[in-house]
Amino acid sequence: MNNEHFSEPAFVSARNACKLCSPLGACFAMHGIEGCISLIHGSQGCATYIRRYGISHFREPIDIASSNFVEATAIFGGRNNLFRALDNVTQQYQPQVIGIASTCLSETIGDDVSMYLREYLSDAKNGCRPIIFYASTPSYRGTHIDGFHEAIYAAVCCMVQKNNNVTKTNRINLISNFVSVEDIRALHSILQSYQVPYTLLPDYSETFDGGTWEEYQKIPEGGTPVSGIAAMSEAAGTLYLGKALNPERNAAYYMSEHFHIPAEYVDLPIGIGNTDRFFDVLNGMTGSPMPDIWTKQRSRLIDAYFDGHKYCAGKRAILYGDEDFVVAMASFLDEIGVIPVIAATGAAGESFSRRIKESQKNIQQHLHTETKIMSDTDFATIMESAAELEADFALGSSKGFYLTRQLGIPLVRCGFPIHDRIGGHRILHLGYNGTLNLFERICNALMEAKQNAAPSGWTYI
Amino acid sequence: MFKILNERRQQVFEKGKDDYEIECEKASTAGSVSQRACVFCGSRVVLYPVADALHLVHGPIGCAAYTWDIRGSMSSGSELYRNSFSTDIHENEVIYGGERKLYAALNELIERYHPKAAFVYCTCIIGLIGDDVDAVCRRVAGEKNIEIIPVHSEGFKGVKKDGYKAACEALFKLIGRDGKTPLTADLPDNKAINILGEFNLAGETSIIKDYYRRIGIDIKTCFTGDSSVADIGKAHHAQLNVVQCSGSMTYLAKMMKEKFGIPFIRVSYFGIEDMSKALYDVAEFFHDSGIMKRTEDLVRSEVTKLLPKLAPYRRGLEGKKAAIYVGGTFKAFSLVKALRHLGIETVVVGSQSGNEDDYKYLKEITGEGTIICDDSNPLELSRFVLEKKADLLIGGVKERPIAYKMGIGFCDHNHERKTALAGFEGMLNFAKEVYATVLSPVWKFSPARVFWRMDNEQ
C-alpha cells in the first residue's frame, strides 16, 4: 500500500474542505436530546451558517441561538451576552435543556464558560431554569465530528445520575455517531428487539425528521430523554459506534471510569462483518442471542450480494467522508469486491490509514491493488489525485458532485451533507438493511451508467 | 403563548394598530435566534461573484466550508471563484499567529491558480490573534505582482451591512487600476453605466445587460455578477452607477461619486414597474431621444409579451396572501409590488437589515393590518405567518422550513436560487414559482390549513 506520499498534505491551505467546524457537530448532537436547544457562544454568523447548512440537509427547522458577540463583547468578555442569551432563550423556547457550544472567538478571548455558568446558576433568580451544559468546541481544533462527540461527552457528564448507590440494571447505552435519521431509527429497532431498557444518545431521528405541524414547535418532539441520560450510569454496558475518538475524553470512557460500566467501541455497522461484530457485542451485553428478524435480514443481504456481485466486481470507487464512516464503508466495499482507489477524510488523524488497511482483506489478498489513503485532505486534492485512477464511481456527500462531474462518473450519495437532493437525511446506511440499501444503490448506479452509455440500451438484464 | 422579547417589541409593527417608529439598525438580541449572518457573510456574498479572483478565507475551516458554493452566481468566464479556499487555522496558529500560514497559502494558491487578484477575508479571530494581514498581503502582492486585498470582515465587528461596506472598500481599491484617465459625461458618444448590486444569480445579469444594450447603453462593469478583476478596474469609465440591492452597494456608489464624479441612481430589477423604471431612469439620465425611444419600444414589447402570459397565473392567485422576509428592504419593496401584480396582498413583510426610511416606505406601500418586522426570528415569523393566514412565504433557505413545516407555500428569493427572477422574463418565472407552490394540491393535507378552513366555515 502506497500512502506515504499523501501523509503530508501538499498544500497548507484547505481547498474545498472535506470537513466542517466543531460547533456544527456539537449543535446537531445537542438537538438529539429531548427538549434541548443549542446556543452558540460567539458571533451571530456561526449559528446562522450552521443552521443553514443543517436545514439544507435535513429540510427541517433548526433553531440555534447565539450569544451574539459584538466588538465590545470581544474586548470585555462574553459573560453578559451569554447571560442575556440564556435568559432570552429560556423565555422564548422554555427548553428543558440548553447546550452551549463555544467558538473560536469565545475561546480565543479566553472566556471561561464553565465559570460563567456556575455564576449564572447560583443566581437565585435563575432558580427555575433548564439544565445547562457546555461543550468546548473551538473551530480551530478538530472537525465537526470532534464537536459531535464532545457535546455527547459534555451532556453525559452533566446529566448522568451520579449518586453512589445507583442500582445496576440490564440497561444498554448505545452512543451513536454522526449518522442519518433513518440510521437512528434502525438502531432503535435493533435495541427494541432485545427487549431490554436502553438509552440511545443522541437521537435526532424525530427532531430532525418530524411530521407536519399545526403551529411552530419551539423545540420539536423527540430526542433522548433527560431521564434516559440520567439512567446511563445504571447500565450493563456502553456500546459506542465509532473509534475516531479522544480515548480519554468520551462518554463511554467517562462512564467506565466513574461507574465501572464496560465500554465497547465498534466500527459503524456497515457491511456484514461490521454488523456481525456490532450484534456480537449487543448479544454479549444483553446475554441474549440475536433476534431472528436480524438473522433473516442478514440472509437476505447475502442473497442480494450473490445476485448483484458481478455488477460491482472490481469496480473502482472514490470514497470520502468522516473517518468512522469511510473506514466502515471501506470494509463493506472490501466484502463486495469494490476497490476504493481513494479513501479520504478531512480530519487529521494517525489512526485512519491503519484502520483502512485493517478493513481491507480481500483487496490485499486477491486484487493486489492499492488504495490511496488520504487524511487531512480536501476535495481539490482528491480531484488531483483521482485524475489518473480511472474510478468508476464515487461514494460520499453532495460535495463530491464537481469531482464526479469532472470525471464523468456517477456519484452515489451517502453520508453528510446531501444538499442537492431531497431525502438525503433519510438514507439508511447501518445494519444489514442499511448495507443492502447501499449495495443496491451502488449496483444500480453502475448499471444505469452502463445502460445509458450503451449505443442502444436495453430494458432487461 | 409565545411572547415577543421585550428588547424586540419596537422592532415589530402592525399597521393600523401600532403607532411608533420601528426600531432598526441595532445588533441582534442575544438568544433571539436571528436570521442574520455576520460581517464576514456580508463581504463574502458581495465579493464572491468576482470570478477570476482568488477568495481566501483566513481563519478556521468553518467560515470557508459554509460559504463554499453558497451563491447561485454564474460566470461566463473563469470558474475560480467557485472554489472555497481557507488557511484552515489550527490551535498552533492561534497561539503563534497565522501570518506564516497565510503567506504560504497565498503563495501556493497564486502559483497553482494564477488569479488576477486576491481577496483575503479576515474572520473573527484574526484580529484577536494580532495577524498583520495587510502586511502579508502587501508582501505577497509585491512578490507576485498582483493585487492582494485584505477584507476586514471579522464576524463580530458589526452586522452584515458592515461586511458589505468592507467589500465595497475592497472593490474600490481595484477601480481605476487600468491607469487610464476616466472618461466623463462630457463625451457625447459614450453611454456607459455600471450596474451595482446585481449578482448574476441564475444568469440574471445577462438578462439585465441585454435590456440595457438593446436601448443603446454600454455596460462597463457589473458589481459583481459575472465580473472579472479587469472589468472592475475600468469601472471609473462609466457615466452613471445604477445601484440595485442598495443595502450592499450604495456605499461603493458614494465613494465612486466622490472620487470619480460618477452620479448614481437606485433601481430594482424585480417586477414589471420596477424593471421598467430601471430602464426609463437610465434613459432619462442620458437625455437622448434615441435611447428613450428604444426604451419605450423595449418596455412596450416586453410588457405586451408578458401580460398575457401572466394572466392565467394571476387568475389562480387572486386574493392570496403573502409573507416576505428577506435580507434587504429594497427587494421587499419590489416584491410587494410584484405580488400585487399577481393579485396577492402582502400581510407580513420584514427584513434583516432595513433602516428607518425603508420601514417608513414599507408602511406606506402596504395595507392595513400588515405586520412589518426588523431582524425577526423563526418563532415570530411562524406566528405572524399563521396569524395572518399567509398562503406563501418568500425568503431564503433558512426561512423555508418555517413555511413547509406548517404546510405553507414558499418561494426562494435569496442568493441560492437557481431560477432567474429579475427582469421581465424573471417576472414570469416568479409567477410560475409562486403559482406552483401556492396552488399545489399537497396543501390539502396541511394541518394548519384544516384549521383555517374550519375558521372560514364558521
Query: Given a cut of 60, is residue A57 above it in pLDDT?
Result: yes
The pLDDT assigned to A90 comes to 95
Query: Given a cut of 50, is residue A161 above it in pLDDT?
Result: yes
Nearest C-alpha of chain A: how many angstroms from B40?
8
d(CA A446, CA A435): 17
The number of C-beta contacts closer than 8 angstroms across A and B is: 242
Confidence label for B246 from pLDDT (cuts 50, 70 and 90):
confident
The per-residue pLDDT for range A383-398, each reduced to its tens digit, is 999 999 999 999 999 9
Of A159, A131, A158, A161, nearest to A235 by C-alpha is A161
Residue in B30, B36, B64 closest to A85 by CB: B30
Concatenate the DSSP letters of all residues of B271-340 into one string: SHHHHHHHHHHHHHHTT-HHHHHHHHHHHHHHHHHHHHHHHHHHHHHTT-EEEEEES-HHHHHHHHHHHH
Determine the angle formed by the axes of helices B39-47 and B246-260, rounding to 10 degrees.
70
Residue in B84, B402, B446 closest to A61 by CB: B402
Query: Given a cut of 50, is residue A6 above it in pLDDT?
Result: no
Beta-sheet pairing, A172-175 with A237-241: parallel
Mean pLDDT, residues A289-313: 97
Query: Given a cut of 90, is residue A272 above it in pLDDT?
Result: yes
Query: Given a cut of 50, is residue B157 above it in pLDDT?
Result: yes
* Peptide bond connecting A225 to the previous residue in cis, omega within 30 degrees of 0: no
Residue in A19, A43, A214 closest to B156 by CB: A43
d(CA A459, CA A248): 56
The pLDDT assigned to B190 comes to 74
Query: Given a cut of 90, is residue A218 above it in pLDDT?
Result: yes
Cβ distance A14 to B156 less than 8 Å, yes or no, reads no
The per-residue pLDDT for range B415-447, each reduced to its tens digit, is 888 999 999 999 999 999 999 999 999 999 988
First to last CA, chain B: 23
Mean pLDDT, residues A355-376: 85
B61–A contact, CB cutoff 8 A? yes
The per-residue pLDDT for range B63-111, each reduced to its tens digit, is 999 999 888 899 999 999 999 999 999 999 999 999 999 999 999 999 9
Does the pTM of the predicted model rise above 0.90?
A: yes
Mean pLDDT, residues A155-159: 98
Determine the angle formed by the axes of helices B423-438 and B329-341, rounding to 10 degrees.
70
Q: What is the mean pLDDT of chain A?
A: 94
Query: Which residues from chain B sit within 8 angstroms of residue A88, using beta carbons?
Result: 5, 7, 29-32
Residue found by looking up cell 424525530 in the block: A206
Contacts of B207 (CB under 8 A, 6+ apart): B420, B422, B423, B425, B426
Confidence label for B188 from pLDDT (cuts 50, 70 and 90):
very low
The pLDDT assigned to A2 comes to 40
User: Three cell numbers at A191?
Assistant: 435495541
CB atoms within 10 A of CB B145: 8
Query: Given a cut of 50, is residue A326 above it in pLDDT?
Result: yes
Cβ distance B31 to A12 less than 8 Å, yes or no, reads no
Nearest C-alpha of chain A: how many angstroms from B453?
13
Of B305, B319, B161, B166, nearest to B245 by C-alpha is B161
Query: Given a cut of 70, is residue A127 above it in pLDDT?
Result: no
**Domains with residue ranges and CATH for chain B:** 39-174 (3.40.50.1980), 192-298 (3.40.50.1980), 311-457 (3.40.50.1980)
**Domains with residue ranges and CATH for chain A:** 4-12+293-453 (3.40.50.1980), 22-146 (3.40.50.1980), 172-291 (3.40.50.1980)
Contacts of A368 (CB under 8 A, 6+ apart): none
Cβ distance B83 to A218 less than 8 Å, yes or no, reads no
Whether B198 contacts B222, CB under 8 Å: yes
The pLDDT assigned to A3 comes to 42
Nearest CA in chain B to A15: B85
The pLDDT assigned to A368 comes to 67
The pLDDT assigned to A164 comes to 75
Query: Which residues from chain A sit within 8 angstroms of residue B407, using beta carbons?
Result: 212
Query: Given a cut of 50, is residue A89 above it in pLDDT?
Result: yes
Give me the phi and psi of B322, to 5 degrees please.
Answer: -125, 150
The per-residue pLDDT for range B265-274, each reduced to its tens digit, is 999 999 999 9
Whether B240 contacts B169, CB under 8 Å: no
